[in-house]
Structure 1
């Protein structure tokens, strides 16, 4: 008996694989779904043929068996949901670069290493010389001496100390040291032994060098005691002490010059006042002397008394002659010789009396006085001129006396305006270099670099997170 074989199901012709020419993602998805549907259909036909015992040729283009979940498990129905699912392709991992570490190394580590190398092997040692001084005057009060001057306000010495402190930081101190002492500070800080960071240019003008100079000199003022502390930095002990001595010397010259100018200015006003009152008194005395020489009288009062006595004497003689003349008229005629003599005496006495009264102020234009060339018209004018000049002389004498007393007072006050530059901590030659502090400066550099990097890093992260 011949064994029947299962009918052979003819294998459908291989359909041409769909080669979609998708123009966009939607077309590509549709083509993919159609292609998988065709492959699923062929797979089902093969499974039915295999169950009947027929050999089915596997489609060489069918790769669904290799896809995960493509085979239908026994007892489970085929789900079309997998047809519409997109395949999961393994993503290609990119190698990430740690830019934060790189930026930290470039912005913090490398600059810190360079800073440490500079301070360890290149930076020149700096020597410090410290000195303390004060500006004092004769009118320094006991409160200031006890340190309580600030309770009563700022004293003139405090203002002078501020002037000296500003002077040391100014360009003028550089010029004064060069002119008065022959010391060019630019040469001190331009030596070949100084490192390239702190080395100055010897040919640099003072206008540019003053900024460098202010870094090399520190002046602090104590407002309570009025004392000034001076710190000078240089790159050799000798240069540091030399520069400090020069600063103190020119500062002392400045204080002396300001003190002298203040004293001269204070006394100049008083001296001018004394000179003006002295000239006024001399002028009045000259006018008085000329008047006395012109009128030939030392005292106008005595002159008036003398003129009054003369007038009284003439009036007495005239009265006596008139009495005699009246008595004679009772015995003789008017034409008698004796009567004529008495008449002439009466006429002469009356003329003399009129002349004397005119000299006392009758308005006569005749010149009077002992000197016929006198400029005065009468005794009254002379007395008035004497009185006027006398009053002016009294005022001039009083003004001159007052100005002399003011001059004496001004001399005393001028002595109080005197300022003294007192150095109570003298500069000395330093033994060791206090600067630079290499470890501390390196750590400070690290902190500065780290702070700058941290700010930049957070700024970058903030901008990146808010970017659209």
Structure 2
């Protein structure tokens, strides 16, 4: 066994000597041919730049991770989330007035635009002010400020500061295609998060109801104006007709005309009878008979009465009384036509207003919550692991970029 190992060592030494001889021969041949062969690179050694690179790795990458992790896991206060989800709905159902060709709705905007308005309203200063008034929001968020100055709120801030902090604590997920809106409200206690979410829903409902009332008023405003105008015209027409009746002491000229026509017909009948009686007396008696004179006088009286009655209808050959009566009848007919037109216009305006009100009521907006404000049982925020991971990724990217820039500048020198 020992003899075998000794032979192997001898063989290895022989091979190494042959390699050295071959290398020397190659070097002599290269020297004779004029080719310069440089020696191999020396072994790598740690230099100052390597220490600087390691130091920056610690300062830029490791230190932010350690500091942030220490703060998040020892100082950062637990935050509880309350989830609320809703959408803006419009009650748009067909009615009998639509089937009969009623007035179409003129409500402005759509539910998607109203949801966009609601999105901006929830993040606005007005919403913050309303919640601050109702729940004393700044006090609720400033409870743990001394322990957690990074995630807490400083109570001595202005309304603008509170609005900025509000936008950090209220996260909105909004799908414009479906109109669904989901809110995540953060607070330092589960009860505060739920109370704030409920107040947001209440204020959002009030705002949507105000938008609906404004749209309903806009939709019915023109119909109401037309109705008021038609009502004024109807009042004026009726007052004019009443004044005409009082001035002329005539309730219904048509009935008066019928009475006058009946009287004229009766007089004409009496005139015919008086003519027959006069002719009969004239034929059977002398001209100086008193009965003839009496019959003639009776006939003259009837004819005079007929003439007077005809003058009332304007058939008396330009007599002023007849002209006045005809003018009176014409004025009455004009006032009657004005009143009937005003009544028709008023009825049409009233139907238009009823149709507009029905359409506006059918398309009224309301807030429909499909997830009521929830109450958390455990803290899920701040997301410490995720925050540390993100800080580590960005810190490593910054360190890597700094290192690449350093070596790029060094290589150019």
TM-score normalised over the length of structure 2: 0.69
Structure 1: distance between partners of 2:158 and 2:291: 117
Which secondary structure state, in structure 1, belongs to the residue aligned with residue 171 of structure 2? Answer: strand
Equivalent residue number for residue 178 of structure 1: 132
Which secondary structure state, in structure 1, belongs to the residue aligned with residue 313 of structure 2? Answer: helix
Equivalent residue number for residue 398 of structure 1: 344
Structure 1: distance between partners of 2:410 and 2:344: 92
Aligned match for 1:413, one of 359, 362, 367 = 359
Which secondary structure state, in structure 1, belongs to the residue aligned with residue 381 of structure 2? Answer: coil
Equivalent residue number for residue 327 of structure 2: 381
Equivalent residue number for residue 118 of structure 2: 164
Equivalent residue number for residue 83 of structure 2: 130
Alpha carbons of 1:95 and 1:234: their partners in 2 closer, same or farther (altered >3 Å)? closer
Deviation at 1:98, TM superposition (A): 4.5
Contact kept, 8 Å, 2:131 with 2:196, in 1: the verdict is no
Deviation at 1:195, TM superposition (A): 0.6
Structure 2: distance between partners of 1:249 and 1:95: 65
* Correspondence 1:28-107 to 2 at 5 A: 98-107=51-60
Alpha carbons of 1:459 and 1:195: their partners in 2 closer, same or farther (altered >3 Å)? same
Contact kept, 8 Å, 1:361 with 1:381, in 2: the verdict is no
Contact kept, 8 Å, 2:314 with 2:321, in 1: the verdict is no
Instruction: Describe the superposition over 1:52-110 as per-residue Cα deviations: whole angstroms up to 9, x where unpaired.
Output: xxxxxxxxxxxxxxxxxxxxxxxxxxxxxxxxxxxxxxxxxx96665433333332222
Deviation at 1:306, TM superposition (A): 4.7
Alpha carbons of 1:210 and 1:352: their partners in 2 closer, same or farther (altered >3 Å)? same
Deviation at 1:339, TM superposition (A): 11
Contact kept, 8 Å, 2:128 with 2:162, in 1: the verdict is no
Larger RCO of the pair (alpha carbons < 8 Å, separation 6+): 2
Deviation at 1:197, TM superposition (A): 0.6
Alpha carbons of 1:190 and 1:292: their partners in 2 closer, same or farther (altered >3 Å)? same
* Correspondence 1:435-454 to 2 at 5 A: 435-454=381-400
Structure 1: distance between partners of 2:190 and 2:171: 17
Equivalent residue number for residue 167 of structure 2: 214
Equivalent residue number for residue 148 of structure 2: 195
Contact kept, 8 Å, 2:112 with 2:176, in 1: the verdict is yes
Equivalent residue number for residue 190 of structure 2: 237
Instruction: Describe the superposition over 1:119-146 as per-residue Cα deviations: whole angstroms up to 9, x where unpaired.
Output: 22222222111122233232179xxxxx
Alpha carbons of 1:317 and 1:95: their partners in 2 closer, same or farther (altered >3 Å)? closer
Structure 1: distance between partners of 2:82 and 2:318: 91
Structure 1: distance between partners of 2:93 and 2:248: 60
Segments of 5+ residues of structure 1 without an aligned counterpart are 1-93, 142-153, 330-336, 370-376
Work out whether 1:455 is the aligned partner of 2:409. Answer: no
Segments of 5+ residues of structure 2 without an aligned counterpart are 1-46, 95-107, 283-289
Structure 2: distance between partners of 1:346 and 1:236: 115
Aligned match for 1:288, one of 231, 241, 245 = 241
Structure 1: distance between partners of 2:110 and 2:198: 25
Structure 1: distance between partners of 2:364 and 2:82: 29
Contact kept, 8 Å, 1:280 with 1:396, in 2: the verdict is yes
Contact kept, 8 Å, 1:358 with 1:378, in 2: the verdict is no
Equivalent residue number for residue 43 of structure 2: none
Instruction: Describe the superposition over 1:27-64 as per-residue Cα deviations: whole angstroms up to 9, x where unpaired.
Output: xxxxxxxxxxxxxxxxxxxxxxxxxxxxxxxxxxxxxx
Alpha carbons of 1:107 and 1:433: their partners in 2 closer, same or farther (altered >3 Å)? same
Equivalent residue number for residue 430 of structure 1: 376
Contact kept, 8 Å, 1:304 with 1:379, in 2: the verdict is no
Work out whether 1:301 is the aligned partner of 2:247. Answer: no
TM-score normalised over the length of structure 1: 0.62
Equivalent residue number for residue 17 of structure 2: none
Structure 2: distance between partners of 1:95 and 1:231: 51
Aligned match for 2:225, one of 260, 272, 289 = 272
Alpha carbons of 1:416 and 1:393: their partners in 2 closer, same or farther (altered >3 Å)? same
Alpha carbons of 1:110 and 1:325: their partners in 2 closer, same or farther (altered >3 Å)? same
Deviation at 1:188, TM superposition (A): 1.5
Instruction: Describe the superposition over 1:230-267 as per-residue Cα deviations: whole angstroms up to 9, x where unpaired.
Output: 11011222221221122122222222333334334434
Instruction: Describe the superposition over 1:262-316 as per-residue Cα deviations: whole angstroms up to 9, x where unpaired.
Output: 3344344433333322232222122222223333333333444555566677788
Work out whether 1:228 is the aligned partner of 2:187. Answer: no
Contact kept, 8 Å, 1:222 with 1:228, in 2: the verdict is yes
Count of paired positions: 352
Structure 2: distance between partners of 1:268 and 1:96: 80
